[in-house]
Structures are given as structure tokens and as C-alpha cells.
Amino acid sequence: MVAATSYSISRALDLTTQLYGAPYGPAGVPSSGEKGQALGPANSVSIVLGLERMAAMADYLNQTWYAESYREQALLTRTAIETLLWNSTGGFYAATLGAPGYDLMDIAQVLLAGIGSDDRRAQFTAKLAALKVPAGYSNGTRFADTPIVVDPYYESFLLEGLAVANQTSLAQDLLDRTWAPMVRRDVNYTSGYWEYIVRSASHVHLANYTCSIC
């Protein structure tokens, strides 16, 4: 696990920013993540949470040096997200450096990791209101020129983030809007997982997705 963590950091860490994705890193790693979300909250928080859990395991095994190293790197990246990605005018954490908007996963990850102050997280969470559609929340504002998509996979992260943030009303509303229709037999009984929902101005299109591991 130590070897895998070290390899991941060496391949993905952007040394200049301390964010993850490193599209121009020394190892030549291409932009990574959903929709090329390198150097943004979604990818960076995943690494932060992994490092902090590795630190907890290292503590348990009395591996003090590893625990301190992992926590130090996690703190550097937390600070980078806070200082480089916060848009004080818009009240959100940008999807990547210089991005004009944010994605749903950015909100979810910020809540999951407790990034920033209570006030900033509250401002960012309030952005959900603008993304609300009948089936849940749309994908975000960074890709405003693309079709509106509601992805239950992303929303599963948001659901956990809302629970962590004690936003129980929003969490319940999300369950009711996105997942409740999937278990009503008169609506869907294919055993498929609704991977996405595309909403146009005139209708809502529900797409079933079935796979062997769902």
C-alpha cells in the first residue's frame, strides 16, 4: 500500500501547485479524471482522503514517519485547494485552475473532506439550488454548453457529503428525487441502474444502464 501510494503521488502530484492531475508534470502524466478534471477539487480531494486514511493506518502500525509524511502532504493539498481554487466573487471552488465554473463532484468532494471554512462550504453548497432539476442535480456550470446530465454515480458522492455535513434535508430530497423513482415497480423494474438522466427543455429522458457488477 505504501508503494502504491508513493507511485500514485509521484505520477499525479503537480509540484508547483500541490494539486493532483499533473497534466504537465515531470512524468508526462496526461490530464486525468472525469472530463479532464485535473488540478481541481474532485481529483485532489480523492488523494487527500486517501493520504489521511493511510496516515491513520500508519499510526496503528506505529509507522510514525509515514503517518507524518502523509498528513503533511494532505495538508499541503488542502491548503492549495483553499488558496488557489476558491473564487471569492462567485462563492465556489473552481473545477480546475482558472475555470469559470464548478462541477457537482467538486461540491461533493469539498463536503466529504471538509475543505475550507464553514462559511465557504455553506456558500458552495448553496450552489446546488441552481443545479436542481426534477430528477436531482445537474452536472454543474463548468460545461454549460453541454446537455444537462444527472448522474447517480456522482450523486452518490454528494449524498455522502451532505450526510457528513449534516445537511439532512438536502440528503433526503436527493434520495427522493433521484433514487426513489428507481424502486417504484410501475416506473422501472428492469434491475438496471439509471446511469444518467438527460433533461431537455421539453422532456426528461431516462436511460437504463445494466452491467454485471451493478
pLDDT tens readout for residues 74-124: 999 999 999 999 999 999 999 888 888 898 999 999 999 999 999 999 999
What are φ and ψ of residue 74, in 5° steps?
Answer: -60, -40
- What is the tens place of the pLDDT at every residue in 191-214? 455 554 444 434 444 444 333 233
Of the candidates 155, 188, 153, which has an alpha carbon nearest to the alpha carbon of residue 170? 155
DSSP SS3 for 151: coil
Task: Give CA–CA dist 42/56, Å, rounded.
Answer: 22
Task: Give CA–CA dist 38/121, Å, rounded.
Answer: 21
Listed in sequence order, the residues at least 6 apart from 11 whose beta carbon sits closer than 8 Å to its beta carbon are 22, 25, 27, 29
What count of other Cβ atoms lies within 10 Å of the Cβ of residue 34? 13
Indicate the pTM of the whole model. 0.82
pLDDT score, position 153: 83
Going from N- to C-terminal start, the domains of the chain cover 1-84, 89-214
Q: All 3 cell numbers of residue 201?
A: 427543455
